[in-house]
Amino acid sequence: MKQRLKRTAAALLALGCLCAASPVKVYADFDHTEFEASYTYPAQMRELSAMQLVNDMGAGWNLGNSLDCNTPYEETGWGNPRTTKDMIDAIADAGIKTLRIPVSWDGHYSDAASHTINPVFMDRVETVVNYALANDMYVILNTHHMRYQETVTTSRNTAVEQEIADVWTQIAENFKGYGDKLIFEITNEPRNGDSFWLPDSSSSSGYYNTVYYMNEAGRQAVRATGGNNSKRLIMLSNYAATGTPHMMAQWRKPADDMVAVSVHAYLPYDFALNAGGTTVFGAAEKSALDSFFSSLDSLYISKGIPVVIGEFGATNKGNDAQRLSWFKYYMEKANSNPAVSVPCVLWDNNSFEVGGEQFGYFNRSAKSFTSAGASFVDVMAGSYNSVPEPEAEAAGGNVELVSSPVSSGGEWSLICKLSKADVISNMEKYGTMYVEFSGCSKQPRLNADIEGWPHVREGVANSTGTATYTLSDVTGISGIDSAQELVLMSEDSATTVAKVYFKSDAPGHVHSYTGTSEILLEPTATTSGRKITCCSEPGCNEYKIELIPATGGNELPVLVFCDVNGDGNVDILDLNELSRVIMKVKSKVSGYNYDVNDDGQIDIKDVLAVRKKIR
């Protein structure tokens, strides 16, 4: 959770209309001192839907107890060091894609009556925002620990709504030119005092109504500023941002498609937050997470409403192994829907003791993660559309190797070594071995790594290209039975082998793709083109390329396997586009490749194929 200061709720005014927002001041530029001279903030709006954008946010981290510190000491008042760009650089380098920046603005009013934000503080916030944007991260900017956060009662408070409108008008104007990687979150945990729970009864309806209008005051203020803010993603909390099902069910969606639900989920409570609770993550705890994520799906995701878990974490009880199990299961549930991931943003308050609210994972003074924190973040970062390292023997028989040449002395240089067993196994299963190389006057030579260097034929003259070796070539090497390894040799020290793979030369059964590299399938003539389909060979789950006639004598477009939207790339946009079609949301493009696996249906199997390709 986070450090809180006890406040007295503001006096409630009679129901009335929200007044026009106070005059807006456009602020000076942020501090460029820590940035490269050429840096400018990103302004691109990619025309992504709310679901598409949220699906790309991935693993996140909270800059907790810094800019949300509401004391005269600003961001260092609660014991944390001043935020620097190299801190955020280290966060990004760990694989974190989203930075949530909690900000308490009301301690920095230069005029409390008009809620005018001190321009120096605005510029400081903007500088920290750009620390993340310079790393190509998403940024969630919110209003945190504001005095109005605890003023929710059964009656609307127009004075509070006015303050929210005033604050968000200023923030929105200042950031109006920023691109869609900047996200606004209107409130943090709006509630009645310190009450985070409401009964499941009609008596609670007024509280939910008040939260809705608080959210609306900020949302409408942002939209009214125009520019990129007219279509910027806005996150809206339910009462107290709680993960309790009956309270989540009362969240109301405005007439705005660019919104997402903001939920905080330190769950299950006794394990994740309660200092006196259990230290063991067991079956009951898993069941609680199952129930929570099921509620997210039924209440929001299945209805086309994206969800961001803006805060989560497990306090340190000296149980790192159990917390790691919790992280793994939490991330598994957040990514259990192959069409839609739920981004989770880790709460970090830089506190490393044992007990309640000890959410220190990244040591801001050392600018590095703790040992436990690094393992937790590795799990998080690896859970969202990550690209794994190439496998030694991938399912398609493709063995990926990237190697710098190592001199072995004498006339020849050693490029790389290959497992004899892997090579023969792949050749027997798939056929010819292909070696993509560059930087040598002759093709590489395949040798048995035994004394005497028996080898396959001398390479032909060619400085770059693809060399081929058949099973008979390899088994014909003298001494192959006793060789533990095969080696690729070159006469030139500058030779590099980019890839080694295996494929059959038999028509209609070509294994040349494993999901880790691009294959452009270009038409061969005006009367024929190429299409990639699932391999129909018994027991084979790979792919083949087959010739198909072109329509009307025209060339087929260049296809990339899993390129759903036809832009020549395979990325999160394809996954999102396919998800929109499956969820029956009107597509923005006329896709020609929705049926990715070519089975005649557009369903979850196509999503899994695209996701595998991205990973």
Type and span of the H or E element at 115: none
- Between strands 464-469 and 528-534, the pairing is unpaired
CA distance 85 to 170: 24
CA distance 94 to 324: 17
Which DSSP symbol is given to 303?
G
Type and span of the H or E element at 414: strand 413-419
What secondary structure does DSSP assign to 65-113, as a single string?
Answer: TSTT--STTGGGTTSPPPP-HHHHHHHHHTT--EEEE----GGGEEETT
Q: Among this protein's residues, is 189 annotated catalytic?
A: yes
Catalytic residue among 163, 285, 311, 393: 311
Catalytic residue among 75, 161, 163, 189: 189
Using CA atoms, how far residue 322 sits from 28, 80, 328, in Å, is 48, 27, 10
Q: Residue 254: phi, psi to the nearest 5?
A: -75, 175
CA distance 317 to 295: 28
Q: Give 272's contacts (C-beta < 8 A, 6+ positions apart).
A: 266, 312, 313, 314, 315, 326
Smallest CA-to-CA distance from 19 within 235, 222, 164, 186 is with 164
* Cβ-based burial of 155 (10 A; exposed 0-12, middle 13-18, buried ≥19): middle
Sign, Cα dihedral of 112, 144, 177, 92: positive
Residues with catalytic roles: 189, 311
